[in-house]
Chains A and B, each alone.
Chain A
Amino acid sequence: MFAIYKRELKAYFISPIGYLFVGNFLAVSGLLFSICTLQQQESSSVSNYFRYLIYAFAILLPLLTMKSLSEERKTKSEQLLMTSPVSISGMIMGKYFASLTVFTAVLLCNSLNFLLLEKFGDPNGRLIISNLICLFFIGALFLAVGMFFSSLTEDPLVSAIGSMDAIFVMLAVNFLSDITIPWLKKIVDFISVLSRYEPFTYGILDITSIIYYVSIAAVFIFFTVRVYERRRWA
């Protein structure tokens, strides 16, 4: 599993995809950051930035996972992985953690932007940290969704668009939270990625939210493994 993790990590940066992801992530998040804070000057809102960034994740993160499994399936190089002494879950976890590592590194790199807030204002560092922690877990969830879609198809493009759609749906559920039917609203709040994010914007690390993100990510990873198992036993 560690060998696969290492290779995946390296593969991101000997092929264009890793650079495209990092570059685009920095550009998009930088732009959102500028729009929400620097350009707003006095009415700067770093929480708006985080909120928009979550939406940007829907497009950015599938770039990281779209090739993970589909490409190997297309070129048949997965045969090497599946015939080597590594379990399928080990293989998928290795790839998942590689994408998670790149994502985390970029998220941290990108956080250098917050130094600008320090320069021109007096940001609440702890709030930023709690937001970042939550964004990490949301990203981890979206990457798991991306992995799942990557396992379904041989075409990276199909995988990317599929996972974008799935993530959009997960985010759009939040718009239903305005409904007045109490039990439905309760369910929507329970499953909505964004409503779970709410406490973090106040600097509160909500363990139940983290459990939620991690468990949903685990379910997607589990399904990914199932896809492979089923394909083997088909």
Chain B
Amino acid sequence: MIEFKNVYKDYGQNHALKGISFKVEKGEILGFLGPNGAGKSTALNILTGYLSATAGEAFVDGISIFENPIAAKKLIGFLPEMPPLYPEMKVEEYLNFVYDLKGCTLSRKQHINDVCGVVKLSHVKNRLIKNLSKGYKQRVGIAQALIGNPKVLVFDEPTVGLDPKQIIEIRNLVKELGKEHTIILSTHILPEVQQVCSRVVVINEGLIVADESIETLTEALEGTRRHVAKICGPEQDVIKLLRSLPALKGADIIGRQDANSVSYLIESDEKIDARVPLFNALAAKGYALIGLEGVDMSLEDVFVRLVSNKEKKTEGRRR
């Protein structure tokens, strides 16, 4: 349904995309994952025709966005990072405009009502967009993308800046839409991808670093519990001790954060609570554990893990 073929984008000397290629099959909800500044928005803007690529090709349903932009754009509903709203318009006026803009042929009133129903906007149809809350504005943005019932929906960071309740609503909505549309959902939040998507493409510094099913991702994330421990004591001795503990899978020095303690990142198997053995071992040596907190995996960690998992697998296969 969607295909990126070796797409490059340069902003002067700055290379935003360094040749990305991936495909999205019909009916998939693709998580487009990457940290801020990785090139997610650039890629999506190219796909939707807002920007053009320096080189490469992108297709929507087999239609090249560069060769035949009008036809390709007809197939896409796009919610950019910042919803493209006209604050001085009323919701209904705005949706009517989008309806005209996209040259829809569906029954106007019916269709707009349907869309409003889907994104739960019906009761604010006659309000000015500028008077709506952020969550509602986001929904108007989604409604806009849904007008014309396009085959492909592209959502760029749809949950940024929303409160937790709104985030959940939007995620559910995307999931629901996924039943009938092919969706690309860009985000930098891991759990979002896990909850909503069926596949994930990870982009970092303009390069695709992973293209995996959601199971692979979950697998990579599972099985490890991570803590940061603040311990008083000589650095080399402490790290030696930590690495020798059977309950821990690994330990690293993060750095000295105050005068008398050093922080360590420790990993343990998910099924084992390593905290008691850790405390006991430190206490036995007379080192004081003055802080211990659990941490989530960073996106970088996930990339590393995904990449390393992949390498392991291929190595395994080779063997």
Given the known A-B contacts A11-B86, A14-B89, A84-B102, are A3 and B73 also in contact in the complex, defined by CB atoms under 8 Å? no
Does B100 lie within 8 Å of A6, measured CB to CB? yes
Q: In the complex, how many angstroms separate the beta carbon of B213 from the nearest chain A beta carbon?
A: 29
Q: Which residues of A contact B98 (CB under 8 A)?
A: 80, 84
**Could you mark each residue 74-109 of chain B with 1 if its beta carbon is under 8 Å from any beta carbon of chain A, else 0?**
101010111011111100010001101111000000
Does B86 lie within 8 Å of A78, measured CB to CB? no
Does B52 lie within 8 Å of A86, measured CB to CB? no
The residues in A between 5 and 53 inclusive whose CB is less than 8 angstroms from any CB of B are 6-7, 10-11, 14-15
A-B contact count (CB 8 A): 74
Q: In the complex, how many angstroms separate the beta carbon of A67 from the nearest chain B beta carbon?
A: 11
Interface size on A, residues (CB 8 A): 25
Q: In the docked arrangement, what's the CA distance between A82 and B52, Å? A: 11
**Could you mark each residue 80-105 of chain A with 1 if its beta carbon is under 8 Å from any beta carbon of chain B, else 0?**
11111111000000000000000000
Majority-rule SS of A interface residues: helix
Does A84 lie within 8 Å of B73, measured CB to CB? yes
Interface size on B, residues (CB 8 A): 32
* Stretch of B43-51, B243-251, B310-318 at the chain-chain interface: B43-51
Q: Which residues of A contact B71 (CB under 8 A)?
A: 85
Does A3 lie within 8 Å of B76, measured CB to CB? no
Q: Which residues of A contact B87 (CB under 8 A)?
A: 75
Q: In the complex, how many angstroms separate the beta carbon of B104 from the nearest chain A beta carbon?
A: 10
Does B88 lie within 8 Å of A11, measured CB to CB? yes
Q: Which residues of B contact A4 (CB under 8 A)?
A: 101
Q: Which residues of B contact A10 (CB under 8 A)?
A: 93
Q: In the complex, how many angstroms separate the beta carbon of B179 from the nearest chain A beta carbon?
A: 24
8 contacts between A and B (CB under 8 A): A2-B100, A7-B100, A7-B101, A10-B93, A14-B89, A75-B85, A77-B86, A85-B74
Residues of A that sit less than 8 Å from B by CB: 2-4, 6-7, 10-11, 14-15, 75-87, 232-234
